[in-house]
Structure formats: C-alpha cells, structure tokens
Copies of this chain bind each other. A is one copy, B any other.
Amino acid sequence: MDPTRVMPYGDMPNDGATQLSFTLPVPAGEEAKEAARQLVAKMGFAEPSVAHMQDMGESFSFFIVYGRCTATVDYAAVRVPRAEFPLLDAPRINAMIAKLLGRRLKVFGACIESDAHTVGIDAIMNMKGYDGDKGLESYKEIEALNLGAQVSCEDLVSKVVTEGVDALLISQVVTQRDVHVKNLTRLVDMLEAEGLRERIILIVGGPRISQELAKELGYDAGFGPGTHAGHVASYLVFRLQQHEDEAPGNPLPEGSFHGSHD
C-alpha cells in the first residue's frame, strides 16, 4: 500500500469502492436512476452503479449507489491540528496548579443560549464525570461551577465580571443551521467588547466541535466527542505553564487569568 496514494478498498486494494446514499427530489423511474448515476459520475466516481432506487412518495426518490472513488490522499502528509499538550494525572494537575497559581483555578462551565444539552458539559464538570473519569469538581485545586443549560451570553459575561473566573468551558450540541457558530461567535464578541477575552482561557466542546473550528471562532481550544475531564484539566495546566514560560519565575498575578471587578 503506497501511503502517499491512499484510496478506498472494498474487495481489492485500491478498488476505490465507495457506497453513497442520498435522496433526489424527482419521481422514481429510469430517468431518476440515470440522474443519480450521472450525479455520482459528476462527483468523479468511476463506474457508478445504482444498487437501489426507492420511490418515497411526493416525488422523492432514495438511492443507494456504489462507485469507485478516483481521488487519493497522501496519508503520509496528513497533519491534524490539535492542542498538543501532555496528559497529566489528577495529583500532578493539582500540584502544578498549586505551584503555578498559588491558589485554586476557577472554572465555569455552561451550555449557552438555546442549547439545553447538558450531558456533555456535565461529563466534564461534575464529580461523576464520564466513562469512569471523574469531572473537574473532583480536582481539589479546581473550583468548578457548572451553570447548566440555556445560559445566555449576557448572564455568562456578567458572571465572568462579577465572580472572576480563570477559564470558561462552553458546550454546544445543537448545530442545525449553524446555530452553534452563531452562539459561539456572539459570546466571543461580547467577551472582547468587555475586554475580558485575553484574561480568561476560553474552551468550547461538543460533538461537532474540533480544534480547528474552535481556533477559527476565536477560542483557545476545542474538544470533540470522547473528551474526558482529564484532557481538559491537563490542557488548563498546559496553558498556565505556557504563561509561566512566557514570564518565567513570575507568579501569575491575581487577576491575570481572573476577571476583576473594574
């Protein structure tokens, strides 16, 4: 297998075998089938073959098509942007926070705006955690507060101001019509308008969140499916460390990662 020219493999190496399915808004029939075939051919698949056409009523037709993918990927050259940081265990995380900050790290979590899916943020924040990995509440050097569902950006920003936090953990699960992008952008804009953005670590997570998207939207890091609290805590320490490295020997002044009341 040539790692610089990787392609799908169904029956034989490099046969490109790919399964597709989609619905066309045309009535089922020979013309519809041919349209499906042409469509897949236009997308560059060789030998497109309609395995199944189903009349779905109301002039909708469902298709299952097989074709040979003609593209290849240089697997050797694939680079995935990710937040690169060492994974630490809880005692080490606590020790590092104590050493670097000299006080507990204050972290707020919230599922913002219309989103009411708290299971993800609960998994990260709450004692119980996820998949056997305890949440941030279990870290003695972290003061974790989970604000729950449907927290408006206004409320959240005012909490950052009044209660002072080092890090905000935002969850977004509903993504239809890109509502998550709208919500996340709104929050960053408001934090920036208040001059708070640079003073906090801003993290977002959810099933459709990637590091890439997070960066694009102005967040420090993005965490997707399967994240554990340990990842997030390690990342937080990594960021504290980074700060320390940039200003070595210089203990973090109160308020540097901390919203103050001014």
Contact = CB atoms under 8 A, between A and B. Distances in A.
Contacts of A11: 176
Q: Give the interface residue-count category, chain A.
A: 35 or more
Contacts of A31: 75, 78-80
Interface string A73-108: 101001110100000000000000000000000000
A219 interface: no
A183 interface: no
A22 B8 contact: yes
Contacts of A80: 30-31, 33-34
Q: Which 6 A-B pairs have the closest CB atoms?
A: A8-B22, A42-B71, A30-B80, A18-B22, A35-B73, A31-B78
Given A34-B78, A39-B7, A43-B45, A22 B19 contact: yes
Given A20-B19, A69-B22, A78 B43 contact: no
B6 A71 contact: no
B23 A20 contact: no
A73 B42 CA distance: 9
A82 B30 contact: yes
Given A11-B176, A26-B75, A39-B69, 9 more contacts: A6-B24, A9-B25, A9-B60, A31-B79, A38-B78, A43-B44, A43-B45, A43-B70, A49-B208
A39 B75 CA distance: 10
Interface in A195-251: 208
Contacts of A6: 24-26, 35, 39
Contacts of A35: 6, 73, 75, 78
B73 A38 contact: yes
A43 B3 CA distance: 19
A193 interface: no
Nearest to A71: B42
B23 A10 contact: yes
Contacts of A22: 8-10, 17-19, 69
Contacts of A26: 3, 6, 75
A3 B45 CA distance: 23
A13 interface: yes
A21 interface: yes
B43 A25 contact: no
Contacts of A19: 20-22
Contact of A18 (B10, B21, B69): B21
A71 B39 contact: yes
Contacts of A23: 8-10, 17
